[in-house]
Amino acid sequence: MINSTPEKKLSHNEVLKENDPILAGNLAETLNDPDADCFSNDDGQFLKFHGIYQQDDRDLRKTGKKYMFMIRGRIPSGIMKADHYKVYDDLATKYGNNTLRLTSRQSIQFHGVVKSGLGPLMKSINDALMTTLAACGDVNRNVMAPPTPATEPWMHQVHEDSELLSNALLPTTPSYHAIWVEGVQLNIQEHKNHHDPLYGKTYLPRKFKAAFAMPPLNDVDLFTNCLGFVAISEGDKLTGYNLTVGGGLGMSHNNPNTFPRKADVIGYLTRDQVEDVAKSVLTIHRDFGDRTDRKHARLKYVLEEKGVAWFRKELESRLGFNLEDAKPFEFSRQGDRFGWHQQADGNHFLGLFVETGRIKDTESIQLKTAVRKVVDTYGVEVRLTPSQNMLLVNIPSDAVDAINQIMKDHGVPTTHEKSPVRSATMACPALPTCGLALAESERYLPGLIDRIENQLGEAGIPQEEIIIRMTGCPNGCARPYMAELGFVGRAPGKYNVYVGGNEAGTRLNKVYLESVKDADMDETLGEILKRFQQEREGDERFGDWSARVLWPELESAGKE
């Protein structure tokens, strides 16, 4: 019997990669064309592999498209030397919109860069021995790790492994250096047979994300990553890692074939096996991921459809050795440390809250200027957190008072004064820069938190911490599906409301209401928070109460 089922066609992106395996497109030619203010749509896909998104200012669309670019750095573990931070700060002022945007993957994005500034900005980053290569695109993205200075004698080894992995999983395309350092357009035909030793000719079906975590703190949201390493220690020695695979949050509204998924625990490996295991996991995604539907192309769907037992067998076959069974571990919390703290080496670090991740100067708080002055004066290291905040680390005791004064002079508090609920928030940039945004996020969330603070006060629990995250679309860049209270843009001024994540970041939440209008948000949230205050058991958190009380109500109402 002949199978009449038609073979699915490869997605357009797969055809692009097949025809241009060095990812060069016509990028250098367009970059050097003074009359062009943007790149073609196809070249826009290649740009992503170089760490760049072509965007336009959506606030100005009624008067015509004003093209601009978002550039994202590759910063393993979010750790930046003072000189590197100063380069980023200067470039934001000179070529961007005078702000630095901290990301949920411990990186920095430039926004508002026009094409004439794109080349000089990219060359300056590379001249400073930094890179944006593979910060976006169908490759491994920025590798995450706990940013807090050493609290264990072996913590630096986790950062070493993070950097090792970041370098080991980089693509080898020659076009990045040619375009952004030399300004040369490579001949695609001369490189048509380029075959990356790890990624092959067509790279991955979709993006790939990796992270390291140190229990009991899950500040990197480990289970949302394609690949995760849970640090396991014995006494004062890091012995190895538990391996997690198959997490990911992106989904599409009204598409049941797409969904958030929490990673599975696969087994245990020793430190010297990290690189081999990571490469083998990545190649399974490369070989089995869906190349016909980009909405269904993440590694999480391979795990969901083939199962953990299949995956472990396939992984061990590629490795040539068997993993040990996973070691016991437990995550109990997430979040950042604010204010002053002493490091294990006797120095100090300062945790600074950065609302919605935007380092900028306002009339009342000149955060960008203050941080730059501290970095200039004391040469401190800067670390970026997975919750879009920042740490200034390795500060000697005799500099603490002077740094406090610098911050005070610029309106930046060094004793954390934000409410617990505001401190636990995160938002994606969304409008006006992101082309995927369906609703506001970064610009909307601070005002919404004002209203939630008022409602918490009216409910009699003004100091309650609730982990709140918002995105302008369902792709989930700010990880709203792990939040105790999540908001996902559905349309202008409308959001799906999710409840039931937990403090440890080990439980996905569930949708509670769909398409809630901004005008109805106060009433909706006010009712939930009052119920929470009345029905909670002891010091039960909002997410745990939601899972215990609201989830069964949703199930009985047939909403799940």
Which residues carry out catalysis? 72, 141, 207, 209, 428, 434, 473, 477
Determine phi and psi for 123, rounding to 5 degrees.
-65, -40
CA distance 88 to 95: 10
Determine phi and psi for 86, rounding to 5 degrees.
-65, -35
Determine phi and psi for 212, rounding to 5 degrees.
-115, 145
Half-sphere exposure of 316 (CA within 13 A, CB side): 15
**Residue 300 near residue 111 (C-beta atoms within 8 A):** no
Bridge partners of 499, per DSSP, are: 485, 510
Q: Report which DSSP code applies to 194.
A: -
Q: Report which DSSP code applies to 320.
A: T
CA distance 484 to 310: 32
CA distance 50 to 139: 11
Question: Tokens for 487?
Answer: 């908001």
CA distance 404 to 116: 39
Supply the angle between the helices 299-306 and 274-288 in degrees, to the nearest 10.
80
- Count helices and strands (H / E) in the chain: 17, 19
CA distance 221 to 105: 10
CA distance 339 to 401: 13
The three-point CA angle 552-556-560 to 5° equals 80
CA distance 52 to 39: 11
Concatenated DSSP letters of 424-447? TEEE---TTT-TT-SS--TTTHHH
CA distance 268 to 342: 33
* Pairing verdict, β 237-245 and 108-113: unpaired
The phi-psi region of residue 147 (left if phi > 0; otherwise alpha if psi is between -120 and 50; otherwise beta) is alpha
CA distance 142 to 75: 6
Considering only CA atoms, which of 303, 230, 237, 235 is closest in space to residue 269?
A: 230
CA distance 447 to 550: 26
